[in-house]
Structure formats: structure tokens, C-alpha cells
Amino acid sequence: MKDLKAQAAEVLDPLSDYARQCHAASIKLVRAGLAVRVARGFCEGVGSQHSWAVLGDDCYSPDVRIVDPTLWSYTGSDPEVWVGSAKDGLHRPHGSGIIWQWGRPSQCDRPDRVIKLTPRRPFSDWAETFLGTLGPLDYEGWSMLAHAPVGGWPSGEVFEAMHHTEGLGNLVPIDVLGMTTNINPGGLYLPGPGEGVGV
């Protein structure tokens, strides 16, 4: 059986055609079943935003396995699929970090401005507890939360509910939405059909 690097190179043959087309190459690997989802953020050696594929469902896991099919095209190397893990320290997805080191959004003290989430499925106990601790939020508060680091709280669950709440659907950055939920904006993060952003 071929190793992952060889399988990825075969799916993208010729690999040289994907120079600096990081997202296109990464989603092709996901759709081929070689990875679980696309991650997007920053990578050492790449001077702009970058996409790669991960083999686990948690793009933020400190030991998630990574397949980066286009890193070579930014570093000036010969075409070669890079396979490693988050432990290598090269890749940092958007939204990385722990919310408890970041702070918290301001609570809303005007009942007429409070926006309540309308989740499509019941919240977990963890999400209920987190939201109860957070207190009531208005548009500004939810907007701040949408840009918080995703670690240390049920971010995916809350972001999914925000996505389906009228007036909040476009607050969560598309890359973070695609990495923390199963919504799959534009079909660009998961192998299944895509969903547009917004409510």
C-alpha cells in the first residue's frame, strides 16, 4: 500500500500544476478521502494566508496530522507533498488560542438589544454552562465572540447556532466556521455538499 505522501501526489498529479493553489489542492485531497477537512491560517515560509488538509476532525488539535500539498511552491523547493503534524510548529489555523487568555465580550445591559441564539438542535450541557456564564449579548457582543480564539469553550457549537440565528449568520469568519462546524461554507472545507454563508 502506498504511503500518504505518495497517495496525495497521485491524486494531484502533476503536483506542479497546483503551485500556489493551496486551497484547491487541499480540498481535492479531502474530496478524494485522503483527509478529513481543510484548515486555513498561516504557515511558516508562506507570506500570506495558506490552506492545508488535516487527517483529524479537529484542526486545532496540537497533534493533528497535516498534509500540505503546496508548501513547496512558497518555499522554492521541488514539488513534493509535505506530511507532518501540528507538533512540527509550521501551521497555525485562524482562531488558534485559548479564550480564557483572550478575555470576554461585554454583556448587554439593555434587554431590548439582547439577541438570543436560535440553535437548530439543543445545546450540550457545556454550551449551556458557557453561555450562562457569558450572560446576555447584543450584536456587538456576539461580534466580539465570533473573533475569539476557539480553544477552551464549545466554539463550534456556539458558532453553528450563531450561523443559524437571524442577524448573526455572517459574523463568524468563514474559515473558522469551516474548521469548527460541519456547515461547510461553499463546499470548501469538507467532502460533502456545501452551504452558503449567512442565515
SS3 178: helix
Residue 132 half-sphere exposure toward CB, CA atoms < 13 A: 7
> Are 9 and 65 in the same domain?
yes
- CB contact set of 159 (below 8 Å; sequence gap of 6+): 146, 172, 176, 177, 180, 181
Q: What is the pLDDT of residue 197?
A: 52
Asked if 18 and 40 sit in the same domain, the reply is yes
The amino acid occupying position 127 is A
Does residue 133 form part of some domain? Answer: yes
**For residue 1, pLDDT beyond 60:** no
Does residue 59 lie in a domain region? yes
Grouping H, G, I as helix, E, B as strand and the rest as coil, residue 10 is: helix
CA distances from 31 to 11, 63, 187, 198 (A): 10, 22, 10, 24
Among 41, 61, 93, the domain boundary falls at 93
Name the residue range of residue 35's domain: 4-93
Boundary of a domain, candidates 93, 109, 134: 93
Q: In this structure, is residue 58 part of a structural domain?
A: yes
Grid cell at residue 62: 496540537
> Does residue 168 form part of some domain?
yes
pLDDT tens-digit map of 115-157: 999 999 999 999 999 999 999 999 999 999 999 999 999 999 9
For the chain, the average pLDDT equals: 95
Whether 178 is covered by a domain: the verdict is no
What does the pLDDT look like over 87-109, one tens digit per residue? Answer: 999 999 999 999 999 988 989 98
Encode pLDDT of 149-190 as tens digits. Answer: 999 999 999 999 999 999 999 999 999 999 999 999 999 999
Residue 181 counted as domain residue: no
DSSP code string of 22-62: HHHHHHHHHHTTS-SEEEEEEETT-SS-EEEEESSS-TT-T
Is 36 a member of any domain? yes
- The predicted pLDDT at position 194 comes to 74
Number of Cβ within 10 Å of residue 173's Cβ equals 17
Number of domains in the chain: 2
Would you say residue 45 has pLDDT above 90?
yes
Q: Is residue 183 part of a domain?
A: no
pTM of the model: 0.93
Torsion (CA) 127, 130, 131, 133 in degrees, nearest 10: 160
